[in-house]
Amino acid sequence: MTPDAPGPAEGAVGDTSERIRYLDEVMAEIDAEVRRRRASGDLPAGLEAELDELFLEFSPVGLQGRARLRETLALVDGSAYVDIAVPTASNKAVGSYVKRLIRKGLGWYMDFVVAQIVKFAWSVSRMFHVVVDHVEALEAAVETHRSPDLPADAVPAADPGGGWWSAAAVDAVRGATDRVLVADCGDGALLDALAAAGVDAYGVDPSDLVLEPALARGLDVRAEGIVDHLRVVAGEALGAIVLTGSLQWLRPNEREHLLELVATRVSVGGTLVLHSTTPEGWAASVPAVVRDLAPGRPLHAETWAHLLGSRGFAVADAVRGGADRTLGHVDPGGPDAGAVNAAIDALNELLLGPTEYLVVATRER
């Protein structure tokens, strides 16, 4: 609260702290009640997600791409016809007679005006049909440029958040004022850590198979890709987003789209935590077939900082971690040890440094 915002009455400060403590205790008991209901099976895992999905069925934002385009077009077609036959029903017999009289008297005039309106509406409708046909042709053309699928067993499993960066991620989102979304949450390891820290978090992962352990533990997880999920999340609805996993496979246009969504769905003052493999670490760890056919490549931490900064995020320095593959120095007393160790430092810097990093950013506008 700012100093000039209305606060509690003077003299009530002592009471206020007691009241706040009391309400905190009540809230803790309410949270415990929810956990008890979940554990007892009264609230099956995924029930709340099903409610969200059900509402989307009635929402225009739930319809995507072609379906939404065609539905809107049908609306235009349906509205393009203007009925000249004004209803003449009335509760009073004389009312109906008068209405019919007016309709008949104005018929020649209305007919002239309505004919022009309908002509205009159908022209507009026709134009939209041409545009939609064109858009669908474009979509078909774009589809032909799709990358070949990677062999599933060649793609290394994503780290769901149980690794070196878990504690830093939890610290970064602790105190989030809205829900925290974990992308590619996998078995829910990071969700467990967030729950233990008192953070209200849920997860999405495109693979329902990897979600099974999380579902079995009663975690709020949904079998959905991060982009598809963020499309239907309300603006500024999330206190923080944790991105990991598929981030490094995104095509440039997908990455741009994801960033646009993240920048509007996380609230101002909210946090974005981004975990990724370094390009060098990625190249060294994936099989050649993945290296050649992957639709996208991981970015350097500095590049993410640039991309996020241009979208209104303040970015803290990246934290490096992961497998340490650096070479040790040779005995400094040996022949040419100075030159060899300098070469080793250069190699470590260029190719063999930490293989992963964590970027934490705060949305400023």
Partner 1 sequence: MTAVHQFVPALLPRDATGDHTLALRDAFRSVGWDSDIYVEAAHDELRDEAMYFERYPGRARPGDVLLYQLGTSSPVADFLLGRDEPLVLDYHNVTPESFYAGWEEHTAAKVALAHRQVAALAPRSVLGIADSAFNARELAALGCPATEVVPILVDLEVDGGVVDPSERERLASRHGDATVLLFVGRISPNKCHEHLVGALWVYRRLYDPRARLHLVGPSVTPDYAAAVLAFAAELGLVDAVHHGEGLTAAELAAWYDDADVFVCLSRHEGFCIPLLEAMRAGTPIVALDAGAVGETLADAGLLLRTARPATVAAAIDRVRRDPELAGRLVAAGHRRLDDFAAPGIRRRFVEALGRVSERTRVVA
**Which residues make up the interface to partner 1 (CB under 8 A)?**
1-2, 4-9, 12, 16, 19-20, 22-23, 26-27, 29-31, 33-34, 37-38, 42-43, 47-48, 51-52, 54-55, 57-61, 177-179, 200, 220, 234-237, 264, 268, 365
In the bound complex, what is the minimum distance in angstroms from residue 23's beta carbon to partner 1?
A: 6
Distance of closest approach, residue 51 Cβ to partner 1, in angstroms: 4
* E strands present in the chain: 179-183, 201-205, 221-223, 238-243, 266-277, 313-315, 319-321, 356-363
Q: Between 13 and 101, name the residue whose CB sits nearer to partner 1.
A: 13
Q: How far apart are the C-alpha atoms of 17 and 199, rounded to whole Å?
A: 23
> Which is nearest to 285 in space by CA: 154, 183, 94, 120?
154
State which residue, 24 or 317, has the beta carbon closest to partner 1: 24
On the CB side of 97, CA atoms within 13 Å amount to: 3
Measured at the CA of 230, the angle between CA 176 and CA 32, to 5 degrees, comes to 40
Q: 349, 325, 323, 354: which is closest to 341 by C-alpha?
A: 349
Q: Helix, strand, coil % (nearest 5) of the chain?
A: 55, 10, 35
Shortest Cβ 101–partner 1 spacing (Å): 31
Burial of 350 (0-12, 13-18, 19+ CB in 10 A): exposed
Residue 4 or 153 having the CB closest to partner 1: 4
Question: Which CB atom, from 222 or from 275, has the smaller least distance to partner 1?
Answer: 222
Q: Between 145 and 365, whose beta carbon lies closer to partner 1?
A: 365
In the complex, the smallest distance separating the C-beta of residue 283 from partner 1, rounded to whole angstroms, is: 38
Give the nearest distance from C-beta 17 to partner 1 in angstroms: 10
CB 89 to partner 1: min, Å: 24
- Give the integer Cα–Cα distance in Å for 315 and 299: 15
CB of 143 to partner 1, least distance (A): 24
Least Cβ distance, residue 20 to partner 1 (angstroms): 6
Amino acid at 315: V
The residues near 46 (Cβ < 8 Å, ≥ 6 apart) are 215, 220, 221, 222
Rank residues 92 and 365 by Cβ distance to partner 1 and give the closer one: 365
Distance CA 22, CA 14 (A): 13
DSSP 154-166: GSPPP--S-STTH
Nearer CB in complex with partner 1: 230/361: 230
- What are the backbone angles phi and psi of residue 129, rounded to the nearest 5°? -60, -45
Closer Cβ to partner 1, 200 or 280, answer by number:
200
